[in-house]
Structure 1
Amino acid sequence: MEKLLPRFLEYVTTDTQSDPYSKTTPSTEKQWDLAKKLVMELHQIGMQEVSIDENAYIMATLPNNLDKKVPIIGFVSHFDTSPDFSGRNVKPQIFENYDGKDIVLNRLKNIVLSPDYFEDLKAYVGQTLITTDGTTLLGADDKAGIAEIITAMEYLINHPEIKHGKIRIAFTPDEEIGRGAHKFDVEKFGAEWAYTVDGSQVGELEYENFNAAKAKITITGKSVHPGYAKNKMVNAIGIANAFLSHLPPSEVPEHTTGREGFFHVHNIKGEIEKAEIELIIRDHDAVHFEARKDLLNDIKDKLNKKYGEYVNLTIEDQYKNMREKVEPMFHIVEIAEEAMKSLQIEPIIKPIRGGTDGSQLSFMGLPCPNIFAGGHNFHGKYEYVPLESMEKAVKVIVKICELTATQIR
């Protein structure tokens, strides 16, 4: 475990932010910087069949150390960080023996991580917290997962008395922009099932996620001198505002939780002659998900009827709820649950309010629940991770390997 922290710190200080507007894989050249380091490290710790393909997908093997055949399982994490907030020049800070009070991340800019606002902090009094300096994200999503998987594999290599079957691991680019599994070679990976190590707080165990789509509304207008515009001007900004006014105001991320779905407008720009709205659609329920897409089409039709054919809508599905693919193999969830309980970790089984490589992989033939990596407040300057949570994730990975090999399912 002594290498876990320095390993993680090295990863987060390497910028791997992905780019949703890029057409390449990986979407940014800088993701190769960490990918190449990881390949070298996997060789160094003694992993076998280490490979990296032309799209920066990394795979490696820990061979079976039993004299019998047991299920081949895998663990998957991603090395890109979110484009939502800067991942450049990350300067992690370490706060040992956290006292439960405000943490000043950046005194100059008065940026404070406070338990008055982020109540989860109260659970980590006495522990070691790794934070940002208030100017970037941290990158625990999902470099914590990578550090934990590699540390777990190294532990198993150094403790051959722990019996396990063949273990496959994989690290992917571009998960944060929804493409992490797009070029994942499931057949080459060769596992019967896998676990993404990409969750948040200790104990999280997830096997259902949002159905997801993205939408773009493009509105064309006509610019006329405002003094002589009556019955002539078509203001695209005004129509965009009208479109937004038809969305249910309570069905947004800041007012929903659990299995409640939402619309999330994340980008809007406009001039009189052209306005664009970009939003995402999320819902765990497939029927409700389709209804949300229908609502956008209904709004478009209503506005086109009122103003003329100025509104164009495109909707693109991104991923589906993996529950339907995992439930038929529910023992894979039960193994993870038992692993946590054996380590005195209370499993928190709940739906993911987001996406994961595991969703797409499940529909590609690799059932893939998600387990915790330990971080909090992803994608922003208040991101942090307790070192003790990362250590627990390592132990859970090791225990899953052990239980899979020793139990007949």
Structure 2
Amino acid sequence: MDQLIERFLRYVSFDTQSNPSVAHCPSTDGQTVLAEQLKKELIELELCDVELDENGYLMARLPSNVEHDVPSIGFIAHMDTAPDASGKEVKPQIVENYKGGDIALGAGDEVLSPIQYPDLNKLHGHNIITTDGTTLLGADNKAGIAEIITAIAYLKANPEIKHGDISIGFTPDEEIGRGANLFNVEKFGAQWAYTIDGGPIGELEYENFNATSADVICHGVNVHPGTAKDKMVNAMNIAAKFQLMMPAEETPECTEGYEGFYHLKSMEPAVAKTELGYIIRDFDREGLEHRKAFMQQKVDELNSQLTKGRVELILEDCYFNMREMVEPHPHVIELAKEAMIACDVKPDIKPIRGGTDGARLSFMGLPCPNIFTGGYNFHGIHEFITVEGMEQAVKVIVKLAENTAVKYQ
């Protein structure tokens, strides 16, 4: 397990933040640099079929060590970190045997507080890896990469543990919604897989949001403000009116569990044209369609009120709830639950209030639930992970491989 933490700390030193404004894949050079390093490590582990393609997808295979036919399973993690906070020059710190209270992040005034993050109250005695308060940590998803590689290295070092073929996949650009776009399911070769991309110990997820992006474009007229009387139409004012028409109680900060939302995530303001970038989320397909229709209704309503200027809406479906593709394969979930229980981990089955490569991959014919990494507070400077959670993730991966071989012997 010392190698697990060493790997993780090494991986977070790579700046792999993805960039949604870049069209090619991977969207940033840093992801390629990490992929090359990981490729080298997989070759050193003497895995088979190690290949890094031109789009930044890295795959490898640990061959079966049993004579009978065992279904090939896979483990997947993504190499990029979120654009929400810097991933450059990450300086992690390890807080050993956490005793409670605030954790100072680096030398500044930033702290990790159990008042803001009550999960810390459950982690007394744990070893916690945090940021220094200036960047995100990168546990999402470099912890998953470190856990998968450590588990594979353990299986190689302990051949008495029986397993079938195990496929490994590391993907680019997951954080900007493209992680599965160019994933070659056939080449990957697994019958089913697991993304190691979840949060606290025990998380097991096979439901996620249905997702749509919604761009609201407000068109105005810009003239010199000194001669603007009866001529200027300020698109920012139109945008403000539209935002006030959205239900204030159906936003991310007001919803939880299976509740969906509308989220204004970006704005490009100007007098002549203002663009509002929304995301729409709902666990139910009909609910998603209702939300899309509601936004169109509000656009039409605002247009009917305007004597000058206009509003348009562009909707684009992004991904759908993987539940409908995973539930027909209940053994995929049962094997994960059994592996957790065997490792003294209580399965915590809950929906993902977000997206995952596994959702897209499930619709591409590769059922792919999500398993915990041990991390918390992803996408921000308060991100942290426990050493114990990472170790448990490794044990669950190993046990999953072993149980699959035993079940199908």
TM-score bracket, normalised by the shorter chain, equals over 0.9
Q: Distance in 1 between matches of 2:191 and 2:22?
A: 32
TM, length-normalised to structure 2 = 0.98
In structure 2, the residue corresponding to 1:76 is in which secondary structure? strand
Shift of 1:298: 1.0
Cross-structure match for 1:43? 43
Q: Distance in 2 between matches of 1:22 and 1:285?
A: 31
Which residue identity does 1:173 align to in structure 2?
Answer: P
Q: Identity over aligned residues, as a percent? A: 56
Q: Distance in 1 between matches of 2:328 and 2:309?
A: 47
Identify unmatched segments of 5+ residues in structure 2: none
Cross-structure match for 2:301? 302
Cross-structure match for 2:386? 386
Shift of 1:117: 1.2
Q: Is the CA contact 1:46–1:157 (under 8 Å) kept in the aligned structure 2? A: no
Shift of 1:304: 1.5
Cross-structure match for 1:192? 191
Q: 1:310-389, aligned counterparts within 5 Å?
A: 310-389=310-389
Q: Distance in 1 between matches of 2:33 and 2:215?
A: 33
- The CA deviation string for residues 331-350 of structure 1, in whole angstroms up to 9 with x for no partner, is 10010001111111110001
Shift of 1:226: 4.7
Q: Is the CA contact 2:235–2:309 (under 8 Å) kept in the aligned structure 1? A: no
Shift of 1:196: 0.3
Shift of 1:225: 4.8
Shift of 1:90: 0.4
- The CA deviation string for residues 317-356 of structure 1, in whole angstroms up to 9 with x for no partner, is 1110000000000110010001111111110001000000
Shift of 1:46: 2.2
Cross-structure match for 1:113? 112
In structure 2, the residue corresponding to 1:318 is in which secondary structure? strand
Matched residue count = 408
In structure 2, the residue corresponding to 1:219 is in which secondary structure? strand
Q: Distance in 2 between matches of 1:35 and 1:379?
A: 21
In structure 2, the residue corresponding to 1:156 is in which secondary structure? helix
The runs of at least 4 consecutive aligned structure 1 residues that moved more than 2 Å come to: 223-233
Q: Distance in 1 between matches of 2:66 and 2:270?
A: 66
- The CA deviation string for residues 53-94 of structure 1, in whole angstroms up to 9 with x for no partner, is 000101110101001001110000001000011001100111
- The CA deviation string for residues 132-189 of structure 1, in whole angstroms up to 9 with x for no partner, is 0000000000000000000000000000000011100100000000000000000101
Shift of 1:223: 2.5
Q: Is the CA contact 2:133–2:381 (under 8 Å) kept in the aligned structure 1? A: yes
Cross-structure match for 2:396? 396
Q: Is the CA contact 2:17–2:80 (under 8 Å) kept in the aligned structure 1? A: yes
Shift of 1:124: 1.4
Q: 1:70-85, aligned counterparts within 5 Å?
A: 70-85=70-85
Q: Is the CA contact 1:201–1:373 (under 8 Å) kept in the aligned structure 2? A: yes
1:144 aligns with 2:166: no
- The CA deviation string for residues 166-216 of structure 1, in whole angstroms up to 9 with x for no partner, is 100100000000000000000101111000000000000000100011111
Shift of 1:231: 3.7
Q: Distance in 1 between matches of 2:106 and 2:75?
A: 35
Larger mean CA deviation between 202-211 and 46-55 belongs to 46-55
Which residue identity does 1:15 align to in structure 2?
Answer: D
Q: Is the CA contact 2:208–2:359 (under 8 Å) kept in the aligned structure 1? A: yes
TM, length-normalised to structure 1 = 0.98
Q: Is the CA contact 2:69–2:408 (under 8 Å) kept in the aligned structure 1? A: no
Cross-structure match for 1:234? 233
Which residue identity does 1:294 align to in structure 2?
Answer: A
- The CA deviation string for residues 364-384 of structure 1, in whole angstroms up to 9 with x for no partner, is 000000000111000000000
Which residue identity does 2:295 align to in structure 1?
Answer: L
Which residue identity does 1:43 align to in structure 2?
Answer: I
Q: Distance in 1 between matches of 2:388 and 2:61?
A: 26
In structure 2, the residue corresponding to 1:199 is in which secondary structure? coil
Identify unmatched segments of 5+ residues in structure 1: none
Cross-structure match for 1:9? 9
State the superposition RMSD in angstroms.
1.2
Shift of 1:230: 4.6
Q: Distance in 2 between matches of 1:178 and 1:270?
A: 24
In structure 1, the residue corresponding to 2:367 is in which secondary structure? coil
Q: Distance in 1 between matches of 2:294 and 2:396?
A: 43
